[in-house]
Amino acid sequence: MVQKAERVAPARTGKGAGGGTGGAGRTGKPVGNVTRGTTNPNRMRRLDRWLTGTQAWRLRRASDPLVVDLGYGASPATAVELFERLSAVRADVRVAGIEIEPERVRAAKALERAGLSFHVGGFEIPVPGQPVMVRAFNVLRQYEEADVEGIWALVRGRLGPDGLFIDGTCDEIGRRVTWVALDASGPLSLSISMRFGGFVLPSDIAERLPKALIHRNVSGERIHGFLQALDRAWLDAAPLAAFGNRQRWTAMCRSMLDGGWPVHDGPSRWRLGELTVSWDAVAPSA
């Protein structure tokens, strides 16, 4: 049963980012709310492709290759997929799937194996160690926008050195995906990833923006300006549609970069229907 959303208190200062056991030593009620848990196999493939691509160095460098799938949902399928994909990068990776609903964890226990485990918990992340990656997808959407900063701080406080927290949102089958990447210091970037042929304009992604941005797509906000600039660059690249949407998308990304937007990576990522931009370019106004 879905739990009515409750406010989440801001993270307390103390042990967390940079040292300490963090949530491993916590006791009491898990922090968070029960979600609908809707999920589908292969739904997270676009994000996982990014984690095993541009972010793989974090996993390779980690002294403790612990990865957390936070709020994996009613089915553990995407947690299993994450484990299998990351295992190709580092064979000794440990993936801990965390769900606040005990029955979901009991159902997932049958799939445990060396390197893959499931636990009852929430944003406090009640497993030993400091994760190098934490993935929370379609989790924060049910919370108030005012709660996002506190949730981000709580999870960031559990990260290990070079750790990364991903707060993302996607549609039911993973064709339109966005995510914010954060490290211990705060948000770093916003990424969007879209299936070619599955949209008319890039701004169609607006309905899948993370909670921190979804209500900010209005005139005067940076995210609104970014999406409008994407649409203009996409329309300007229309002549390249004859060569396929991959070429058109790549030209759009190049145009954004040339226009002064802090676009990350390059054509090898753009050809996947992916674009990452620095957080400062889209962050909500104060």
pLDDT tens track for 95-146: 999 999 999 999 999 999 999 999 999 999 999 999 999 999 999 988 999 9
Same domain for 122 and 246, yes or no, is: no
**Does residue 189 lie within any of the structural domains?**
no
Least confident of 5-9, 46-50, 252-256, 280-284: 5-9
User: How confident is residue 280, by pLDDT bands cut at 50, 70 and 90?
Assistant: very high
Alpha-carbon distance 79 to 84, whole Å?
Answer: 9
* Domain endpoint, select from 121, 155, 184: 184
Beta-carbon contacts of 275 under 8 Å, excluding residues fewer than 6 positions away, are 191, 192, 193, 230, 249, 253, 256, 263, 269
**Residues 73/98, Cβ–Cβ less than 8 Å:** no
205's tokens: 């992604």
Tokens (6 digits) for 249: 């998308």
List for the chain the helix, strand, coil content (%; round to 5).
Answer: 35, 20, 45
Query: What Å distances lie between residue 271 and 16, 46, 195, 281, CA to CA?
Result: 38, 13, 11, 22
Whether 195 maps to a domain, the answer reads no
pLDDT of residue 41: 80
Q: Is residue 286 assigned to a domain? A: no
Q: Categorize the per-residue pLDDT at 208 as very low, low, confident or very high, splitting at 50, 70 and 90.
A: very high
Residues 119, 230 within the same domain: no
Please report which confidence band the pLDDT of residue 24 belongs to, taking 50, 70 and 90 as the band edges: very low
**77: β partners:** none
The answer on 177 and 214 residing in a single domain is: no
CB 17 within 8 A of CB 159: yes
For residues 187-206, average pLDDT:
97
Q: Is the separation of the CB atoms in 221 and 284 below 8 Å?
A: yes
Considering the domain boundaries, does residue 5 fall inside one? no
| CA distance readout (Å), 286 to 19, 140, 167 | 30, 20, 20
pLDDT attached to residue 31:
82
Beta strands in 47-103 (DSSP E): 66-70, 94-99
26 pLDDT more than 50: no
- Cβ neighbors of 184 (< 8 A, separation 6 or more) are 17, 18, 156, 157, 159, 163
- Of 151, 184, 217, which marks where a domain is finished? 184
User: Distance between CA atoms of 84 and 204, rounded to whole angstroms?
Assistant: 31
165 and 235 both lie in a single domain: no
Q: What is the band of 181 on the pLDDT scale with cuts at 50, 70, 90?
A: very high
Residues 169, 37 share a domain: yes
Q: How many folded domains does the chain comprise?
A: 2
Over 50: is that where the pLDDT of 158 sits?
Answer: yes
User: Residue 63 above 80 pLDDT?
Assistant: yes
Q: Whole domain around residue 120: which residue ranges?
A: 22-184
Q: Are residues 100 and 41 part of one domain?
A: yes
Q: Give the pair of three-digit tokens for residue 252.
A: 């759009």
Residue found by looking up tokens 């492709």 in the block? 49
Mean of pLDDT values over 155-163: 97
Q: Which amino acid type is present at position 82? A: L
Asked if residue 268 is part of any domain, the answer here is yes
Joined tokens for residue 108 = 């997932």
What's the mean pLDDT when you consider all of the chain?
90
Q: Are residues 32 and 60 in the same domain?
A: yes
- Rounded CA-CA distance 168/136 in Å is 6
Are 40 and 167 in a shared domain? Answer: yes
Chain centroid to Cα 40, Å, comes to 16
Same domain, residue pair 229 and 170:
no
More confident residue, 2 or 219: 219
Q: Using DSSP, state whether 132 is helix, strand or coil.
A: coil
Q: Is residue 93 situated within a structural domain?
A: yes
Show the tokens assigned to 50: 């990014």
pLDDT at 33 > cutoff 80 = no
Which CATH number do you get for residue 148? 3.40.50.150
Question: Sign of dihedral through CA atoms 30, 34, 39, 44?
Answer: negative
Residue 3 above 50 pLDDT? no
The answer to the question of residue 16 being in a domain is no
For range 235-257, the mean pLDDT = 97
**How far, rounded to the nearest angstrom, does the alpha carbon of residue 283 sit from its chain's CA centroid?**
16
Contact in structure between 34 and 2 (CB atoms under 8 Å): yes
Residue 65 shares a structural domain with residue 174? yes
- Counting residues of the chain whose pLDDT is more than 70, the rounded percentage is 88
> What pLDDT is stored for residue 11 in this prediction?
47
Helix (H) or strand (E) holding 91: none
Classify residue 44: in a domain, yes or no: yes
For residue 225, the one-letter residue type is: G
